[in-house]
Structure 1
Amino acid sequence: MKVGSQYLGNNVCEFTLWSPLKEKVAVHLVSPEEKLLTMTKQEQGYWYLKAENIDPGTLYYYQLEDSVDRPDPASHFQPQGVHEASAVIDHNNTSWQDSQWTGIPLEEMIIYELHVGTFTPEGTFKAIIPRLSDLVELGVNTIELMPIAQFPGDRNWGYDGVYSYAVQNSYGRPEDLKQLVDEAHQQGIAVILDVVYNHFGPEGNYMAHYAPYFTHTYQTPWGDAINFDNAYSDGVRNYFSENVLYWLEIYHIDGLRLDAIQAIYDAGAKHILQEMAEKVEEFSHQVGKKFYLIAESDRNDVRIIRPRELGGYGLDAQWSDDFHHSLRTVLTKESGGYYVDFGTCQQLAKAYQNTFVYDWQYSQFRKRYHGNVIGDRPAWQFVVCIQNHDQIGNRMLGERLSDLIDFEAVKLAAGALLLSPYIPLLFMGQEYGEESPFLYFVSHEDPDLVAAVREGRKQEFTDFHLEGEYIDPQSTQAFNLSKINWQQKNEEKHQVLWQFYQQLINLRKTIPALKKLDKQNLQVTAEESDRLITLHRWQNDSQIFSIFNFNDQNVELKNVVLRGKWQKILDSSETKWMGSGSNLPEKIETKEQQLSIKPHSFVVYQQ
């Protein structure tokens, strides 16, 4: 059941609302002329109206019980913000130019996460378009937009969205997002959209006025959980499962990243995530192109991506934070918060080989056993990163990794990510070592809510670095400081780092041993005392051998034996990458050798 306003053409529009407990509902048109149109109640709590003389852009509310006007919970656009009228949108007149677009296979994705508001000075969908060519030149083939569902005010990370179907008005209009997606496809870039199905933001959230969208049965960090399995949950499930299809069908989005699914509670026989996966699979068959669902989860639970016939939900991929945490702590030696569970090269080696470090291991941070074994799930079902919006923005100062470690270690981290057998995700500006922070920012109108956000963020920062000056998330300063500075891309070490990322991505795309995301053809060793990791990957006749030195001293490798002839293809310590110069030979042949590798560096040999 499609919900919201569906413009049919010729000034005819259908309005569908789910509100099972109301006795009277009407469409209250407020512009271009005011009019009240009574809706008819149908089965399972849906209200329906087919109306004529409705122009695109018409503003309306739903009037409940003759007493209160509220925006459409499935509004397609909120031109005046979260508290004002919804707009009828004509989705029929889009001149799409991507009919030949077949998508990017999941296992080939190089994902680039960006925040629309801070990616460009303008902070709009349209302003992203001229930057797509930069990403293509870098080697990126997929962009992931942080949430764009309408949130209060004009600046927000997006996780306070309250209209799941409406694009954020400060970013542009619906047609602007369509233009961005269309242009991306024409340049060979897939688009993933970050969506939030575990909660609604607090301001402008009128969902409970309409129906039992929430349940007291479960509690989330944001309050009562969304009602996916209790009485009247059928309408809630429909609202969200239709939202999945809405983004794929109406906006040609290639896939969705589902935020924090550990806060999606469903004890029913068919989990809502499974239902979503089934609908996407069916839609993919209809369209003849594969669409993807990628979950963010901190549970280390392989059931999320396991096929339905094997008892899983059947999602396509999931994030794995263990890789980030393992690499981050080896580089920075941090031990606050959840980092207390990490810090060894052995753990990083396990992340390469087994994906989850905690696969039913005891977690000191959680004070319980955590995770399960991934079994036969392939590496291309996991997305890993060395930076993302959470890992930067949930620090008080919003420091990027390049602010915390030296330039050699920054290159080392890049190599560790892009030589892994997983889908890599970059956070905007990472590729050239952006120096601006990425802070948490909001623009709420409710003073009590602003005070609660300030206090809540301070509580979160207790685990991650209290030193430095706290920047008020409600301030425009927090937002403006978070905008990235594109001019840095062409400056000194930033340009070198950008070229370094470009080279790594090119190797990943062109060398079969790196292109094939296969953990079976992978061998990794860790020397804890030397803080050294070696990585050997192969695919048929293609082989690479990498050495990663996380030590701040030179490390001597004795009695190294590599069978056959090997050619060095990348060395982060070379002067061309602003290193101090390499100690490693250009070629290695079959015999015992002693190698010396510079601090915080890595090398790649190809057979």
Structure 2
Amino acid sequence: MHLPSRQTLPFLRDWGADPVGRGVWRFSIWAPQADSVAVTVEDRHTPLRRYGDGMWRAEAPAQAGETYLFHIDGHTIPDPAARAQAGDVHAPSRLIDPTAYRWTTRWSGRPWEETVLHELHIGTFTAQGTFRAAEAELPRLAALGFTAIELMPVAQFAGHHGWGYDGVLPYAPHPAYGTPDDLKHLVETAQSLGLMVFLDVVYNHFGPDGFHLARIAPVFHPDSHTPWGKAIDFTRAPLRRFLMQNALYWLAEYRLDGLRLDAIDGIDDPSDPDFVTELALTIRNHGFDRPIHLMTEDDRNITRYNDPAAGLNIAEWNDDWHHAVHCLLSGESHDYYASFARDPLTDLRLSLTEGFVEQGQPRPPKPGPRGEPSAHLPPTAFVNFNQNHDQIGNRPKGERLLTLTDPARARVAHALLLATPPIPLLFMGEEMGTRTPFRFFSDHGPALAASIRDGRAQEFPHLHRDDLPDPNDPAHFHASRPQRPDDAAEWEALTAALLHLRATRIVPLVKSGTPQATATITAPATLAAGWRFPAGTLRLTARFAPDPDATPPKDTPALALGDPTTGPSFALWLA
């Protein structure tokens, strides 16, 4: 029997507080402009010594559970690399022994080709909104056929509830969700069920409330901004290590299977290699004992991170797939949907065979080109989705796709997503057909809350302010928990059937090598597509409207959905 084991410290960080043995901890912080730096552990005061690159460091007696603060030229701040806080983002930090958790299981990971992602937000995934409560839902997801969960950011942010993309303490799990050990237990429970665990991390900006490092160090680029605020200066070596080691920290101390890098198009880095490339190489060369998988969100549709020839093996969240499906099903054409609303079925055909839709070609009404050719990339370079937190939650009222289209057409899109070679992702509740909205919500003081309300009003000028949900109203946080609809069993049965077919028949084909792909529009609102792999062939027909001229297929499908002569339908063949 494998006995519980105490975790060893994976590596000594350049930042924060780490135990070095015999009741002694090492404290480190970057303060290049400071004249004096010290740390107070409870009531014990220890000066730090200046080293290269503006780093300050000292060893001092301390015990796990004690609180501490840094003092820099009259400023008192919590540890930017704290593993936990004693309260909110302005409170003292708390010492956490990273070796104290006892892992009771071993985990060797899973190949990327087997990945089926279930994206979830811990705060709204369950009524309790905690890591521990989330564990109770994992057997259901595993039984349906999911192989991975992806957690929206859990790094501590200001307030009780929020999406997590305004984190300011990137090493500390948000306390409303639970303790560091609670998160490790969630990971271990998931992996014991065969579920990989991915974490969404944000390296393109810091949140507007509680990022105290900016008070004592030149964190931001003086002349560059992102849509979310000041741009991080990635040319600062200590700050670069702060974020680089953050990725290693989550993977090593929490035994995660991979990361999703949020909005990397917001990372302005002239370095060679750039931050994303260096991060991927650092992770690959770290010596993990299991596969580590990376995903990015990148609005530019570039391919240099995703091309296997580059050796980074990063997959890309494919918004183009979503936009084509959304426009086809909803008929919407506003804002960024405009170029996809002109001919969404043709766009979907292109995405089925080449991944990106926008590859640098003219795309009216867009004023200029977007993207690069992507036909050379394997299907597994793309993560496709019909819904995700952004595409639902960034709508003014957070409506789900099922409230915008006919359920029969939505089921065909569901089947198309889960039965095609790219990596599929579903957003929490999608597997059971929930109609519950997922809204944008936050928890800030009056001034910042008013600023966010103003920003939302500017983002949706066609709506009266009274018609826009107030993100700071807790009711919208509570209303965003997925509720089980009346037809949940039907949706879950479809999801399970598709994922069983994917695991047993489609994944072996995907593992055999890159396919030759074809797709055609054979009738109004009908797609026929095929992938010839080294190990076999996958063919399908997806009809989004009735086809009175449809004839029964000559060979029996491995999976069929609907009657093509009377409504939307889907059929799939494997050989």
TM-score, normalised via structure 2 length: 0.93
In structure 2, the partner of 1:57 is 65
Q: Secondary structure at the match of 2:134?
A: helix
Opposite residue 568 of structure 1, the aligned amino acid is: P
Q: Secondary structure at the match of 1:253?
A: coil
Opposite residue 45 of structure 2, the aligned amino acid is: L
1:71 aligns with 2:78: yes
- Mapped to 2, the partners of 1:505 and 1:290 lie a distance apart of 22
Q: CA deviation at 1:512?
A: 4.1
In structure 2, the partner of 1:530 is 524
In structure 2, the partner of 1:108 is 114
Q: CA deviation at 1:123?
A: 0.3
- Mapped to 2, the partners of 1:545 and 1:466 lie a distance apart of 47
Q: Which moved more, 1:78-87 or 1:537-546?
A: 537-546
In structure 2, the partner of 1:511 is 505
1:274–1:554: structure 2 CA closer, same or farther, 3 Å change rule? same
The answer to whether the Cα contact below 8 Å between 1:5 and 1:88 also exists between their aligned partners in 2 is yes
1:96 aligns with 2:103: yes
Residue of 547, 566, 570 corresponding to 2:559? 570
Q: Which moved more, 1:37-46 or 1:208-217?
A: 208-217
Q: Secondary structure at the match of 1:568?
A: coil
Q: Secondary structure at the match of 2:137?
A: helix
In structure 2, the partner of 1:603 is 571
Residue of 68, 81, 86 corresponding to 2:88? 81
Q: Secondary structure at the match of 2:351?
A: helix
1:555–1:452: structure 2 CA closer, same or farther, 3 Å change rule? farther
Deviations 1:422-471 (A, max 9, x none): 000000000111121100000012x22111111112222348x7799322
Opposite residue 231 of structure 2, the aligned amino acid is: A
In structure 1, the partner of 2:339 is 341
- Mapped to 2, the partners of 1:466 and 1:532 lie a distance apart of 39
In structure 2, the partner of 1:44 is 53
The answer to whether the Cα contact below 8 Å between 1:571 and 1:604 also exists between their aligned partners in 2 is yes
Q: CA deviation at 1:569?
A: 2.9
1:363–1:162: structure 2 CA closer, same or farther, 3 Å change rule? farther
In structure 2, the partner of 1:457 is 456
In structure 2, the partner of 1:374 is 374
1:282 aligns with 2:285: yes
In structure 1, the partner of 2:260 is 257
TM-score, normalised via structure 1 length: 0.88
Residue of 24, 39, 42 corresponding to 1:12? 24
- Mapped to 1, the partners of 2:375 and 2:407 lie a distance apart of 37
Q: CA deviation at 1:189?
A: 0.7
Deviations 1:460-488 (A, max 9, x none): 2348x779932211011010000122xx2
Q: Secondary structure at the match of 1:602?
A: strand
- Mapped to 1, the partners of 2:459 and 2:104 lie a distance apart of 45
In structure 1, runs of 5+ residues without a counterpart are 574-581, 583-595
1:153 aligns with 2:165: no
- Mapped to 2, the partners of 1:484 and 1:208 lie a distance apart of 37
The answer to whether the Cα contact below 8 Å between 2:509 and 2:535 also exists between their aligned partners in 1 is no
Deviations 1:544-602 (A, max 9, x none): 43211123x434247x9x8xx621232221xxxxxxxx3xxxxxxxxxxxxx5432221
- Mapped to 1, the partners of 2:181 and 2:290 lie a distance apart of 23
Q: CA deviation at 1:211?
A: 1.4
**Mapping of residues 556-595 of structure 1, within 5 Å:** 556-557=549-550, 566-573=555-562, 582=563
In structure 2, the partner of 1:577 is none
Q: Secondary structure at the match of 1:509?
A: helix
In structure 2, the partner of 1:443 is 443
Q: CA deviation at 1:207?
A: 2.2
Q: Secondary structure at the match of 1:496?
A: helix
**Mapping of residues 112-123 of structure 1, within 5 Å:** 112-123=118-129
Q: Secondary structure at the match of 1:331?
A: helix
Deviations 1:147-179 (A, max 9, x none): 000001110000010011111010001010011
Q: CA deviation at 1:513?
A: 7.4
Q: Which moved more, 1:596-605 or 1:148-157?
A: 596-605
In structure 1, the partner of 2:184 is 178
The answer to whether the Cα contact below 8 Å between 1:513 and 1:542 also exists between their aligned partners in 2 is no
The answer to whether the Cα contact below 8 Å between 1:302 and 1:372 also exists between their aligned partners in 2 is yes
1:290–1:27: structure 2 CA closer, same or farther, 3 Å change rule? same
In structure 1, the partner of 2:9 is none
In structure 1, the partner of 2:10 is none
1:403–1:466: structure 2 CA closer, same or farther, 3 Å change rule? farther
- Mapped to 2, the partners of 1:317 and 1:305 lie a distance apart of 6
The answer to whether the Cα contact below 8 Å between 1:394 and 1:439 also exists between their aligned partners in 2 is yes
Residue of 39, 44, 59 corresponding to 1:27? 39
Deviations 1:396-415 (A, max 9, x none): 11111111112201211101
The answer to whether the Cα contact below 8 Å between 1:513 and 1:543 also exists between their aligned partners in 2 is no
Deviations 1:360-381 (A, max 9, x none): 1124464211100124321111
Opposite residue 339 of structure 2, the aligned amino acid is: D
- Mapped to 2, the partners of 1:50 and 1:95 lie a distance apart of 26
Opposite residue 459 of structure 2, the aligned amino acid is: E
Q: CA deviation at 1:252?
A: 0.7
In structure 2, runs of 5+ residues without a counterpart are 1-12
The answer to whether the Cα contact below 8 Å between 1:362 and 1:368 also exists between their aligned partners in 2 is yes
Q: CA deviation at 1:532?
A: 1.1
Opposite residue 169 of structure 1, the aligned amino acid is: P
**Mapping of residues 387-398 of structure 1, within 5 Å:** 387-398=387-398
In structure 1, the partner of 2:294 is 293
Q: CA deviation at 1:114?
A: 0.1
1:108–1:449: structure 2 CA closer, same or farther, 3 Å change rule? same
- Mapped to 2, the partners of 1:228 and 1:45 lie a distance apart of 15
Q: Secondary structure at the match of 1:15?
A: strand
In structure 2, the partner of 1:131 is 137
The answer to whether the Cα contact below 8 Å between 1:338 and 1:365 also exists between their aligned partners in 2 is no
Opposite residue 217 of structure 1, the aligned amino acid is: D
Q: Secondary structure at the match of 1:360?
A: coil
The answer to whether the Cα contact below 8 Å between 2:355 and 2:375 also exists between their aligned partners in 1 is no
- When the two chains are superposed, the root-mean-square deviation of aligned CA atoms in Å is 2.0
Opposite residue 524 of structure 1, the aligned amino acid is: A
The answer to whether the Cα contact below 8 Å between 1:147 and 1:158 also exists between their aligned partners in 2 is yes
- Mapped to 2, the partners of 1:268 and 1:19 lie a distance apart of 22
Deviations 1:178-222 (A, max 9, x none): 111111111111100000000001011212113111102322112
Residue of 491, 496, 499 corresponding to 2:493? 499
The answer to whether the Cα contact below 8 Å between 2:248 and 2:283 also exists between their aligned partners in 1 is yes
Residue of 318, 321, 325 corresponding to 2:319? 321
Q: CA deviation at 1:519?
A: 5.8
Opposite residue 412 of structure 2, the aligned amino acid is: L
In structure 2, the partner of 1:228 is 234
**Mapping of residues 177-196 of structure 1, within 5 Å:** 177-196=183-202
Q: CA deviation at 1:604?
A: 2.1
